[in-house]
Structure 1
Amino acid sequence: MGAFEGKSVVVTGAATGIGEAAARRFAREGARVVVADIDGAGAKRVASDIGDSAVSTVVDVTDSRQVQAAVEVAVEAFGGLDIMVNNAGIAILAPIAELPDDDFARLVDVNLKGVFFGIKAAVPHLVARGGGAIVNTASSAGTNGMPMIGGYAATKAGVINMTKTAAVELRALGIRVNCVAPAFVVTSLSDNLMDGFEQASGGTPADEFFAANQGRLGEPEDVARIITHLAEDEGNWVTGHAYVIDGGFTASPM
């Protein structure tokens, strides 16, 4: 019997990368999963691969009504919601002084408001089940400075603080809130970030630099393992935690 047998989970940004790996891992452990993504075809592909324990839905996390609708899919398909994974995110690269206002607003809308909307949408349904877990995807970039990603890093720092605040506010309701803060993981999003690093460093190959400082580049499954760990019932005394997953990158000087 899997750790999530009988549990219902929504994962946003689940068509690719970390979200896809998390959705698949939850399903392997017995959960019923809503694969939610702005890429409807990608979400449908992942849900189809998982099988009968998954359904897909299209969600733009910048729209609170769509986030609420994604949660309702879980309630209607599976009878309720036990775990919410707010994973959807984007990266836009530029020095802070050159980052267009509209691009910064877009980062905030997706990376920070998307988590805010996800928490709000999930809470009533988690309460109805007697409690549950929320796991947000932040970034190790939210814990320190690095050129070219100031806007992105600011939103991820916001996710970390929102996670801690929500954990304090919701613990009396039996809801645990944690976040993962990965460094460079092999996804389409990190490809974009590594391109920015190479620009900022004057051409140092990003894959070589981060492999040297992290031991290796991360894989989506490295993060998915921690997401499921933070969501499972055995972690019922773990809340308000930002779990850095970076091969020791933030523990050593660059």
Structure 2
Amino acid sequence: MGRLDGKVALITGGARGMGKAHARHFTTEGARVVIGDVLEEKGQRVAAEIGGVFVRHDVTSADDWAAAVAAATSAYGRIDVLVNNAGILRHAPVTEMDPDEFRHVLDVNLVGSWLGIRAVVPVMRDAGGGSIVNISSIEGIAGAAGLSAYSASKFGVRGLTRSAAQELGPVGIRVNSVHPGGVMTSMALAAAQTMTGVDGSGFLKALPIARFAEPVEISRLVAFLASDDASYTTGAEFLADGGLLSGPGY
């Protein structure tokens, strides 16, 4: 038996990176999965691989959220789990970042998560409850130079998680956040190429577990929070950073 047997999960940003890992792992744990993403070809391939459903989904659009919820309920009759995974990262000093780009990062990472919670609550409430897992970051705890928009958005996800947990606990909906450190994804690798002057080897040396995470290592934590094994856990923040923030200076 899988940890998520019988559950229906909607995972945003599921076409690649951590989202794809979440979709695959949830399937192995017994969940039926709906993937949302703007990357249609890649998303359809992942959905075909896992026997799930793909829906084109721009998380900044309330209409797209309504369509994603409708696709999930049409296919499977319910939504038990929402993973707000979709996100973007832009690297630039505050004085050099275009204000529209700053707003765009917040729209995808923070407003998109807020819209997602808002969209799934009626379905989850009618079913008697559910679990929402918001993917934040260690940058939502410590911040980082050159990542003002990303850090601001991920700090915001922490506040959103806590507020939503307070509001939704009485109707049986749990809300938690996961804060990954360095993970081997295409987005992280692309960002590293733009972050000149950053000492990658120094970053690794600072880790008690001196390596980057594989995406599935984050997926296992997300699956736990999505499952009934975490039935008394809400409004909480879970680090998966190889111990980075346990050291001096944090």
Whether the TM-score (by the shorter chain) exceeds 0.5 is yes
Match of residue 148, structure 2, among 120, 139, 150:
150
Aligned to 1:249: 244
CA distance in 1, matches of 2:126, 2:69: 13
Please say if residues 210 and 217 of structure 1, whose CA atoms lie closer than 8 Å, have aligned partners that are also in contact: no
CA distance in 2, matches of 1:194, 1:250: 19
Please say if residues 3 and 224 of structure 2, whose CA atoms lie closer than 8 Å, have aligned partners that are also in contact: no
Spell out, residue by residue over 1:89-142, the C-alpha distance to the aligned partner (whole angstroms, 9 max, x if none): 000110112211010011011001110011001100101110000001100001
Aligned to 2:29: 29
The Cα shift of 1:145 comes to 2.6
Aligned to 1:131: 129
CA distance in 2, matches of 1:139, 1:225: 16
Answer yes or no: is 1:209 the counterpart of 2:207. Answer: no
Letter aligned with residue 236 of structure 2: H
Letter aligned with residue 228 of structure 2: D
Moved over 6 A (4+): none
CA distance in 2, matches of 1:86, 1:190: 18
Normalized against structure 1, the TM-score is what?
0.94
Please say if residues 35 and 55 of structure 2, whose CA atoms lie closer than 8 Å, have aligned partners that are also in contact: yes
CA distance in 1, matches of 2:206, 2:73: 43
Letter aligned with residue 221 of structure 1: V
CA distance in 2, matches of 1:179, 1:14: 17
Spell out, residue by residue over 1:140-185, the C-alpha distance to the aligned partner (whole angstroms, 9 max, x if none): 0011132111111000000011001100110000000001110111
CA distance in 2, matches of 1:241, 1:175: 13
CA distance in 2, matches of 1:11, 1:157: 21
- Residue aligned with 2:95, SS: helix
Aligned to 2:216: 221
The Cα shift of 1:40 comes to 0.9
The 5-angstrom pairing of residues 159-178 of structure 1 reads 159-178=157-176
Aligned to 2:40: 40
Aligned to 1:60: 58
CA distance in 2, matches of 1:61, 1:176: 21
Aligned residues: 247
Normalized against structure 2, the TM-score is what?
0.95
CA distance in 1, matches of 2:104, 2:31: 32
The Cα shift of 1:35 comes to 1.2
Answer yes or no: is 1:112 the counterpart of 2:107. Answer: no
Aligned to 2:13: 13
- Residue aligned with 2:55, SS: strand
Please say if residues 80 and 131 of structure 2, whose CA atoms lie closer than 8 Å, have aligned partners that are also in contact: yes
Please say if residues 185 and 220 of structure 1, whose CA atoms lie closer than 8 Å, have aligned partners that are also in contact: yes
CA distance in 1, matches of 2:123, 2:174: 14
Please say if residues 184 and 210 of structure 1, whose CA atoms lie closer than 8 Å, have aligned partners that are also in contact: no
Letter aligned with residue 67 of structure 2: A
Match of residue 191, structure 1, among 182, 189, 192:
189
Please say if residues 210 and 216 of structure 1, whose CA atoms lie closer than 8 Å, have aligned partners that are also in contact: no
CA distance in 2, matches of 1:92, 1:119: 24
Percent of aligned positions that are identical = 40
Spell out, residue by residue over 1:200-247, the C-alpha distance to the aligned partner (whole angstroms, 9 max, x if none): 43xx3x2x2332223101111111011001110111101001111100
The Cα shift of 1:189 comes to 1.6
Aligned to 2:228: 233
- Residue aligned with 1:96, SS: coil
Please say if residues 21 and 216 of structure 2, whose CA atoms lie closer than 8 Å, have aligned partners that are also in contact: yes
Q: Which runs of 5+ in 2 are unaligned?
A: none
CA distance in 1, matches of 2:12, 2:144: 26
Aligned to 2:68: 70
Greater mean alpha carbon deviation, residues 212-221 or residues 78-87: 212-221
- Residue aligned with 1:127, SS: helix
